[in-house]
Amino acid sequence: MTVIVVANPKGGVGKSTLSTNLAGYFAAQGEWVALADLDRQQSSHSWLDLRPATLPPIESWQVDLDHPAKPPKGLEHAVIDTPAGLHGNRLATIVELADKVIVPLQPSMFDILATKDFLDRLAREKAVRKGAIQVGVVGMRVDARTRSAEQLQRFVEGLDLPVLGYLRDTQNYVQLAAHGLTLWDVAKSRVEKDLDQWRSILEWVDRK
């Protein structure tokens, strides 16, 4: 069983978009997957309520940060969507649950600076240093051919972390989320460009 934590202390960077689509990918592969939502707004769990019963199921996993417990036995994947402002002991608690951490990051200098301390903290975590937990960054709402993408790449390389991929700014995610859907719940022809961008991310996610 693999636990994937999607985290960035800055709000509005795409954590729920990444989390719900990751869960949707695992469900589409026929795997038993659960989605946890630690944000007070419960955006990801509200999205689950919209998800049609005819689609591959995604379970709701309730996580209490003060008394965290491991996911149910037999679960193949768990995705944890975290809130803005996650830090200190609560961050350490969530990292202890994780096998992999994905940090969504927009390639503006303001976002990079706001996330720098968080990435530094992650890099210093004992489990990360020993390779027990893998950490990767996903560029959000970005064109990989732009200077801003190069800026993000240089920044992350300085922390010795991989950039897993870049997801473009598109209404596809907004429109699908409004109906409880993911990229893997609609015709491939409708989201072909987006699926292409996910390939490198999923290769990293699936790697043991």
Q: How many domains does the chain have?
A: 1
Residue type, 63: V
Please state, rounded to an integer, the average pLDDT across all residues of the chain: 88
Which residues, listed in sequence order, are joined to residue 78 by a DSSP beta bridge? 3, 34
CA distance 156 to 129: 16
CA distance 21 to 107: 21
CATH of the domain at 192: 3.40.50.300
Q: Which two tokens stand for residue 184?
A: 């893997």
Q: What angle do CA 77, 165, 16 make, to 5 degrees?
A: 50
Residue type, 114: A
For strands 134-140 and 100-105, give the pairing. parallel
Higher pLDDT, 167 or 62: 167
pLDDT tens figures, 63-121: 877 776 677 778 999 999 998 877 777 777 888 888 999 999 987 888 888 888 888 88
CA distance 208 to 205: 8
CA distance 60 to 75: 12
Range(s) of the domain holding residue 130? 2-206
Q: How many residues does the chain have?
A: 208
pTM here is 0.91
